[in-house]
Structure 1
Amino acid sequence: MFERILFPTDFSEPSMKVLDYIPALHGVGTREIILVHVIDSKDIGLGASGGQGFLGTVSNQETEARQGLQTEVQHRIIDTRRALEKQGFEVTVLTPAGNPGKEIVAAADAEGASLIVLGSHGRSNIRDRLLGTVSEYVIKNANQPVLVIKRGKESGR
């Protein structure tokens, strides 16, 4: 039923909590995990603006910032990929740049995902809100079912 799962992560504790739930989906037919980390376009802009005293165009600075972020992401994603592969999943890794919510929805469509499983930060100041803005965007705009793993009470948050 859920052969291809899209697992977006920002490597935070709430997003990595999804790893506890993915093995249970193996029994319902999950064979492939599409591991996605979106390099937020805001982070690229911040990295590029940090080089104001250096030679080069803003375009070059943005390219260098993007490459630096992608290198960092690749190093962090290797362990996650290996852990999933050891559990018998085929893993595809995507690291698009842009708006996280939009890129997650676009990746799910482009990759033919049958389910999106994501963790929620719940960073809202309003106590009753459980989901973060990326989770909310994905839920409202995804063409696939979305399973949201909210952070647990054991973390004290």
Structure 2
Amino acid sequence: MKKVLIAVDESKGSLSVIDTFLDIFSCMRPEEVILLYVEKLEGGPMMDAMLGGPEMAAMKEALKGTDYQNMLDKKAEKVIDFYRAAFDKNNVAGIRTVVSEGHPADEIIATAKVEGVGMILLGSRGKRKNIYLMGSVSREVANRSDIPVLIAK
């Protein structure tokens, strides 16, 4: 496998991707590992349901350069740095980081397609509180992706 996308966030569930990756790719590592962090605007499922693509794009544009956007960027950098250090410590080469904005499942699937990865790896539980009503990000990615998905526990 040439490329693997690993979706990470600040949740405890996301930590399991490190050991899962190291176990699965213990003998043969992919040429490139893409660490993806998705910045999500806080607002919950109601905001996701009510705002379509154009409205979300307008909101993202309006937030550029604000303190809120700077806070999101710092959080993304901190999370990405943590995972990069963990993989570096275990001699995983070919790491490239990507930070995107939007609905996590949509962004994970879109990035995987654009990058042409052979597998998506993500944790089983994120930080969404509405898991019982809407389903988790990992479940949504697994159900919608044409690319193989491995959910780490």
Normalising by structure 1, report the TM-score. 0.72
CA RMSD of aligned residues (A): 2.6
Give the whole-Å Cα distance in 1 for the aligned partners of 2:113 and 2:62.
Answer: 31
Q: How far off is 1:60 after superposition? A: 7.5
Is the CA contact 2:9–2:79 (under 8 Å) kept in the aligned structure 1?
no
- In the alignment, which residue of structure 2 is the partner of 1:153? none
Q: How far off is 1:92 after superposition? A: 0.9
Which 5+ residue runs of structure 1 have no aligned equivalent? 47-57, 127-131, 151-157
Counterpart check, 1:145 vs 2:148: yes
- In the alignment, which residue of structure 2 is the partner of 1:39? 39
Give the whole-Å Cα distance in 1 for the aligned partners of 2:125 and 2:85.
Answer: 24
Runs of 4+ in 1 over 3 A off after TM superposition: 58-61, 122-126
Higher relative contact order (CA 8 A, sep 6+): 2
CA distance 1:99–1:28, shift in 2 (3 Å):
same
2:38 maps to a residue whose letter is V
- In the alignment, which residue of structure 2 is the partner of 1:17? 16
CA distance 1:105–1:125, shift in 2 (3 Å):
closer
- In the alignment, which residue of structure 2 is the partner of 1:5? 4
Percent identical: 27
* Deviation by residue 1:120-146 (Cα, 9 ceiling, x = unmatched): 1186348xxxxx521121112212100
Identify which of 88, 92, 104 aligns with 2:96: 92
Q: How far off is 1:113 after superposition? A: 1.0
Aligned residues, how many? 132
2:125 maps to a residue whose letter is H
Q: How does 1:107-126 map to 2 (within 5 A)?
A: 107-121=111-125, 124-125=131-132
Q: How does 1:18-97 map to 2 (within 5 A)?
A: 18-24=17-23, 25-42=25-42, 62-63=63-64, 64=66, 65-86=68-89, 87-97=91-101
- In the alignment, which residue of structure 2 is the partner of 1:101? 105
Is the CA contact 2:118–2:147 (under 8 Å) kept in the aligned structure 1?
yes
- In the alignment, which residue of structure 2 is the partner of 1:51? none
Give the whole-Å Cα distance in 2 for the aligned partners of 1:5 and 1:97.
Answer: 20
Q: How far off is 1:76 after superposition? A: 2.6
Normalising by structure 2, report the TM-score. 0.74
Q: Which has the larger radius of gyration?
A: 1
Deviates more, 1:87-96 or 1:71-80: 71-80
2:36 maps to a residue whose letter is V
